[in-house]
Amino acid sequence: MLAHVALGSLAFLSLTLNLWQWLAGCRFPLRRPIPPVDLPPPVTLLKPLKEADETTEDCLRSWFRQDYPAPVQLLFAVDSPDDPVCPIVRRLIGDHPRCNARLVVCESPTGTNAKVCKLVELERLAAHEVLIVSDVDVRVDADLLKNLVPFLADPRAGLVNCFYQLANPSTPAMRWEAVAINSDFWSQVLQSRDLKPLDFALGAVMALRKRQLAAIGGFQSLTNCLADDYQLGNRMARAGFDIVLAHQVVECWTAPMGWGAVWMHQLRWARTIRVCQPLPYFFSLLSNASLWPLLWLGLEPSPLSLACAVSCLLFRVLASADLQRRLTCRAVPVPFILMPILKDLLQVGLWALAFAGNRIEWRGASMRLQRDGTLVPVEGPPR
């Protein structure tokens, strides 16, 4: 009887948390435009790059097409003039001669996070007070800056970021990852914000001011951190600044990945979150909306546990499909409608493995993730 009550309570708790998560997503004004400001500030885009695939040129081109009524400086950084992305950037600069754009070849990295080492170099070259930081695989709408930068007009705002979607889940493995990104992650961020102000940042696109960045030590202080976006937002919040969520959604495009690559990506993500937020990550298993009702049904089969399992799984599938539709403006294909259940069950393994070690594979190198979020190479130089 005790096991029956305990499993039933966990199943009901997971359903309640899943309902809360869905409601948080429903309330957020995704893509709602904001009123224009009279004198928008000039901005500098900092874009660290490495390698390229068939989506890279389209992603980079979207930054050249920003409809923004103030000067925009575009700074792109690579660590080698032979990087395959260099011809793409040079071609785009040639296609847009009126844009203030530059490709910078950085010196040897001074830390384990080569991306942040590039940002250190670009920060020195930035001509404007407002900085935009974005990953290489991000494609944006032409009105992004108009709907992102005005949030910095609030003097309490230290960093403005926005949600992102996995735009091209072209394999079954990526469809599984799309549940994690396009359904669960963004709604869990809003769920967390219901409890307390955000103390982390989402790294796809971030807007901040130079003076606030300098107040927390600049990018130089993050050169050995894996989750540089989390650390940047966390240090901003600890310095007394607000982390603001803009209404826009940007797209992340990536080359097709199989199960092995997606699994390693998710494991790196899980271990990173576990190091950054150990207690919340430990209790995150309670919100697994498929595990607990199925475990209750398997160990204590009864009409009640069967009804609970059916209700929980049905709501999980429908809520996930609705959250993905809200973020991406596309319906989930029918063959993948049950993917949230598979994602939840595999997530149990990821959750356990996150506590089983601190070693990750990142940018082709083996790294050990330390308790403070910094990286130590295990073998070979970081790439």
Picking from 114, 103, 42, 117, the residue whose alpha carbon sits closest to that of residue 75 is: 103
Query: Residue 195: inside a domain, yes or no?
Result: yes
Count up the domains in the chain and report the number.
2
* 311-354 pLDDT per residue, tens: 999 999 999 999 999 999 999 999 999 999 999 999 999 999 99
**Residue 373 contacts residue 235 (beta carbons within 8 Å):** no
Say if residue 21 is in the same domain as residue 117: no
Question: Which pLDDT score is estimated for 347?
Answer: 95
Structure token digits, residue 299 = 């160990």
Question: Which pLDDT score is estimated for 383?
Answer: 37
- DSSP bridge pairs for 166: 252
For residue 192, CA distances in Å to 281, 330, 352 come to 12, 25, 22
The whole domain housing 315 covers: 2-27+273-377
Say if residue 250 is in the same domain as residue 287: no
Question: Which pLDDT score is estimated for 365?
Answer: 67
Question: Which pLDDT score is estimated for 364?
Answer: 64
Say if residue 88 is in the same domain as residue 164: yes
Query: Residue 38: inside a domain, yes or no?
Result: no
Three-class SS of 244-278: EEEEEEEEECCCCCCHHHHHHHHHHHHHHHHHHCH
Helix (H) or strand (E) holding 282: helix 278-283
Question: Which pLDDT score is estimated for 382?
Answer: 38
pTM metric for this prediction: 0.91
> Which of 251, 269, 287 finishes a domain?
269
> Which of 232, 249, 269 finishes a domain?
269
Say if residue 289 is in the same domain as residue 168: no
Find tokens 């609030």 and name the residue.
154
Low-confidence ranges of the chain (pLDDT < 70): 362-365, 372, 379-383
User: What CATH number has the domain bearing residue 256?
Assistant: 3.90.550.10
Say if residue 321 is in the same domain as residue 247: no
Question: Which pLDDT score is estimated for 59?
Answer: 97
Question: Which pLDDT score is estimated for 381?
Answer: 43
